[in-house]
Every structure is written in structure tokens, then in C-alpha cells.
Amino acid sequence: MNDYKQLAYEYEVLNSREDIYKQKDFFKRIIEKYNIKSSLDCACGLGWHLEMLDELGVKCYGSDISSDMISLCKENLMSKNIVVKVEDYKKLNSSWDIKFDMIICVTSAINHMLEDKDIIEALKSMNNRLSDNGILVIASGVSDALIINKPKLIPAKLYSDKAVYFFLEYLDDKVIFNIFNIRKTEASFEHSLNSMTLSLISKKRLEYCSLLAGFKIIELFGDFEFNEYIEADMSKRLIMLLKKTPN
């Protein structure tokens, strides 16, 4: 498993509350379109999607495999009535006995599954916790464009006093994200390095695993502005909305 022990405390710079709130209109439209009343974020990280969905009137629940992420998430959501717990999204049945109208697994959280069998097991576990008309939202920053172009360096976040760079190494169907965090101090700079291995899940691979997990694809986007997913090149994100196939 990728270790979020140190990264948890630096994660806000990588994917801030402010950035996540830029997805608010996207989720608002999805909630209205599919009549979503309850939602589980099964890799909730610091909890900002939960806070945002709660503001949109959805009854929210969260889980994440990292106890460090969950303890920060609990602090962030202190004023909210949202249950969050440590749980592997491959084993949602053992933790949740309710079903959800929407489950989200976003910001490349599914890419932590390195083999097809694990992706399928995770998707099946999510399928099992969805209500009959429920939807699963998968969003990943590992798109076909990244898989084709294999960039070695991505300046992920640049601020006046800090910067985060991704140095990427590719190994077969995996990519190692070396996350290099630089902060300006009064006299100089300080830096830290975290690494995580993610699987290169193309649209085709996600389609294949989803089908085997009992899902059909209902919508596909290349960003949170509802733009079409362009497989060959451009799209920076792979956002798939899935529905259970009836038995």
C-alpha cells in the first residue's frame, strides 16, 4: 500500500480544499440529474468532497484506508454531522450496512489498485453498497493522454512561497509519482519527497474492469466542466459515471 503517513500532512498543498470546491457545479448537476440523497466518499482523504456534498444537501459518509488521512478529515469536518471511518474500499460491506445513492472514488484513488483483479474487487465492493438506481463516480488524473505521452515532469502546483513537482517513472502498467515538495523558508528552502505507485488505468481498462464488476457506463467526461473525454490525447482527467447492470 502507498503510505500516506507523511503525505497526509502535506496533502492539502497537492489537492487543496479550494481546488476541490472548483468541482462543486459538476457535483451539483450530477446530484440533481440522478436525484442523489446520500453519498459515500470511499477514499475521502481530507474530507473536502464530503464537506462540499453536505453543503449541496446530500447526507454524507466517508471512509479511507489511511488512519492519518481520517484523523485529519475528522478535524476538518468537526462542525459537520458526517460519519467517517478507516476502511478499505475493497471491503465496504464489512463497514457499512446502508446503501448509497452515490459513491465517489476520486482524485486517482482507484489507481492505488495495481492489478486488474484488485480494481475489479474494489469496483464490486462499491457496486454492492449502491442503491438500485445508484451511481458510482470514478475520477482519475491518470488519463489516456498521460499514458500515451508519458511526461517525466509535471509542475503540479506553483505558489509564491512553495512548489510541488511530480517526477514520473513508468514501469509497464504502473507509474511512480515522486512528489517533490519545496517550501521557501526565511533564509533558504526546505523540501520533502514522497513517492507513490499508481496503476495506469486507461479508459479501456476501466471499462473492462467495470463491466466485470457489474457496471455499465452512463457518462464519460475529460474534466469537471463536462467536456467530452478525448482518448487519443488532450483530456487530463478520466471521469466515469457508472450504474449497476440489472441482475
Ligand X SMILES: C[S@@+](CC[C@H](N)C(=O)[O-])C[C@H]1O[C@@H](n2cnc3c(N)ncnc32)[C@H](O)[C@@H]1O
Residue whose C-beta lies closest to ligand X:
45
Nearer to ligand X, 76 or 186 (CB): 76
Number of residues that bind ligand X (CB under 6 A): 19
Chosen residue from 58, 60, 65, 103 binding ligand X by CB under 6 A: 65
E-only strand ranges, the chain: 38-41, 59-64, 83-86, 100-105, 130-140, 153-158, 162-171, 174-184, 189-199, 215-221, 238-244
Binding mask 14-53 for ligand X (x = CB under 6 A): -x--------------------------xxxx---x----
Contact between residue 177 and residue 168 where contact means Cβ atoms under 8 Å apart: yes
Grid coordinates of 183: 517550501
Least distance from C-beta 188 to ligand X, angstroms? 29
Q: How many CB atoms lie within 10 A of CB 203?
A: 19
Q: How far apart are CA 146 and CA 142, in angstroms?
A: 6
Nearer to ligand X, 49 or 203 (CB): 49
**Residues numbered 102-141 forming contacts with ligand X, rule: CB under 6 A:** 106-109, 112
Q: How far apart are CA 33 and CA 246, in angstroms?
A: 20
Q: How far apart are CA 32 and CA 34, in angstroms?
A: 6
Chosen residue from 4, 34, 215, 221 binding ligand X by CB under 6 A: 4
**Residues numbered 199-228 forming contacts with ligand X, rule: CB under 6 A:** none
Could you list the residues that contact ligand X (CB under 6 A)? 4, 15, 42-45, 49, 64-66, 69, 88-90, 106-109, 112
